Amino acid sequence: MLPTLRIIFRKSSLMFSRLRLTEEEKKHRRQMTNFAVKLMLLAVGVALLVQLVYYFAVISHPPSVSSWEFPLQMSVTVSALGLLALLLGVNHLNAVPHWVASSLFLLALTFLALFSDNPHEVIHGRSTMFFMVPILLSGVLIHSYATFGFTTLVISLIAAYAMFTPGAALESPNIIFFYLFAGLVTVVLRSLEKSTFQLRREAAESNTILSSLRGSYILTDKNYRILRLNERTFAIFPLAKLGSNLVAIIRDTKMEISDEDLQHLIGVVTGVETEEVQIQISGKYYYAANIYIPSNTEHLIFLRDITAEVEIDRLKDTALAMVSHELRTPLTAIRGHAEMALRQPYTAVSNATRILLNTQRLLIMVENLLSQSRLRTGKIKSVPAPTNLDTIFHVVYSLLASEAKEKQLEFEMEVDKHIPVVMVDAVLLQQILTNLGSNAIKFTSKGKVTMTATMPDPDHWGLSVTDTGPGIPASKRSEIFKEFFQAEAQTVYDRPHQGTGLGLSIVQGLAEQTGGKLTLRSEEGVGSNFSILFPLVLPKEITRRRKQNG
């Protein structure tokens, strides 16, 4: 017994799941009900006008019509006007389910049919066929399966009407005909519902695919009117909408695009440009192309976002030019000092010092290139270990002291003695401090460079590098962390200072890897301060001792 009930429950659940309508479908059926009510209002209004004209032109002659027919028709027509107007208001109430408003409308049609003619014509005469209208509309406005329910309701109303009308009787052929008609309507409407559902699902899948693609996809007709578009189109053409002319939108939209690229884009849309063209819009690069669809005389225009590819190509070219340019200077210096040491052996020590200095610059440059590559590919991982900050600062100081001395700069370091041994990746921390210190020395022509480590509160510690250099213009501060960027240079060939332009980009990436927050404070003509705040994480042994002492 229990398995049988389960099977019945599953089949019932499946049937009711098929009966459910989507919110979009419910909204559509409410709109159709609204249209049907308005259409009926118009029809009833015209009927009332015709009846009045007919009354004054024809019925004024006594033999023209029965004395009871005209008052009946007038009362039914006026009642229909009031009832339909009321239903129109009910349908506009979103709080009322769509099927309630539709059912009330169909019931009103059924009752109007019952009292619109004499009993004989209503039950088995000229007005009988009118009951097919609410049966058909129930499948359209409510659900395809609602036709059977409304057929049963119509037959019940006719039977009740016949019971209270002398000389009237419900005929069985009419019952059979109504149910056959309901069955045919259900089959047709159900097939249409399935087809519509399939089309909407395919359209939704297509929109999902188009939206996930990188760039804009627009389908236009032969007159360049937009038929379909994906969401990314609005980021390029904010005024784009279905039915609008794409060429007019391109001309009217105030985009950041050169005149040459604008002509190329219009050429692609109109089909003049038959090949892919690269254009730049609002700082982004796109490949624009037009695919013609002969069967529908339609055009599929797509703008594929290639900004990332263009940026990668730019970085490759910049990196190649920078490496060849930056390697040449220290290698030339190393060769010159080596030759001088060979010719003048008594200068070997000073030349060896300069060779070591240039070798150190090469090593830093190569290390920066490798670090940037690892950061871009996500291969750098922070491995915290107990670290003494004073040791790290002394190592970096010894590496950079000769460079500062060569430029006759004051180079100082200050480490707060209250900072305990912390958990941090010592290798990454040393690279961060080296890049900040080297960068400060490089761009400071006179004055002082100071490296400090402080503990601003019990939960954080930080490091900072301060210089008395020229400062960073406000317009450049958002760009200095970009790869290969130097504020004072337009290209890699006109840089006033040696270096790859990767130092600050690497510092930013490594700071994120180690959980630090990088901030910049700078004033033109005064200097700059780069500081990184880290959360204080102590080794387990120190933490245990603090708990015991606390």
Mean of the pLDDT values across residues 534-538? 91
Q: Look at 74-78, 385-389, 390-394 and tell me which has the smallest mean pLDDT.
A: 74-78
Domain boundary among 185, 204, 223: 204
Q: Does residue 59 carry a pLDDT above 60?
A: no
Residues 186 and 43 reside in one and the same domain? yes
Long-range contacts of 472-480 (CB under 8 A, 24+ apart): 472/520, 472/522, 472/524, 472/528, 473/524, 477/520, 477/522, 480/504, 480/520
Residues 493 and 517 reside in one and the same domain? yes
On whether the CB atoms of residues 150 and 106 are closer than 8 A, the answer is yes
12, part of any domain: no
462, part of any domain: yes
Mean of the pLDDT values across residues 272-278? 80
Residues 449 and 505 reside in one and the same domain? yes
- Highest mean pLDDT among 129-143, 455-469, 486-500 belongs to 455-469
Long-range contacts of 213-216 (CB under 8 A, 24+ apart): 214/304, 214/305, 215/286, 215/302, 215/303, 215/304, 215/305, 216/286, 216/301, 216/302, 216/303
| Domain extent for 425 | 381-543
Domain boundary among 204, 225, 250: 204
Q: Does residue 208 carry a pLDDT above 90?
A: no
Task: Determine the Cα–Cα distance for residues 341 and 35; give it in Å rounded to an integer.
Answer: 99
Q: Each residue of 395-422: pLDDT tens digit?
A: 999 988 988 988 899 999 999 988 999 9
Residues 233 and 324 reside in one and the same domain? no
How many structural domains are present in the chain? 4
Residues 332 and 387 reside in one and the same domain? no
7, part of any domain: no
82-97 in b/e burial notation, b at 16+ Cβ within 10 A? ebbeebbeebeeeeee
356, part of any domain: yes
Mean of the pLDDT values across residues 351-365? 73
Give 63 or 544, the one with higher predicted confidence: 544
Q: What is the mean pLDDT of the chain?
A: 77
Residues 449 and 432 reside in one and the same domain? yes
Residues 460 and 403 reside in one and the same domain? yes
Residues 47 and 149 reside in one and the same domain? yes
Residues 266 and 321 reside in one and the same domain? no
Residues 520 and 451 reside in one and the same domain? yes
Residues 187 and 332 reside in one and the same domain? no
Residues 168 and 246 reside in one and the same domain? no
483, part of any domain: yes
Tell me what pLDDT residue 412 has: 94
Q: Each residue of 4-44: pLDDT tens digit?
A: 545 544 544 444 344 566 777 777 777 777 777 777 777 76
H helix runs in 55-97, sequence order: 69-91
Structural tokens at position 236: 């390029």
Domain boundary among 169, 204, 239: 204
Residue with tokens 């590496």: 399
Q: How many CB atoms lie within 10 A of CB 120?
A: 13
**Which residue, 224, 235, 378, is CA-closest to 305?**
235
170, part of any domain: yes
Mean of the pLDDT values across residues 295-306? 82
Q: How confident is the model at residue 463 (pLDDT cuts 50, 70, 90)?
A: very high
On whether the CB atoms of residues 216 and 284 are closer than 8 A, the answer is no
Q: Distances in Å between the alpha carbon of 126 and those of 114, 157, 527?
A: 12, 17, 99
235, part of any domain: yes
Mean of the pLDDT values across residues 188-202? 82
Mean of the pLDDT values across residues 346-350? 74
Q: How confident is the model at residue 532 (pLDDT cuts 50, 70, 90)?
A: very high
On whether the CB atoms of residues 109 and 148 are closer than 8 A, the answer is no
17, part of any domain: no
The three-point CA angle 541-547-550 to 5° equals 140
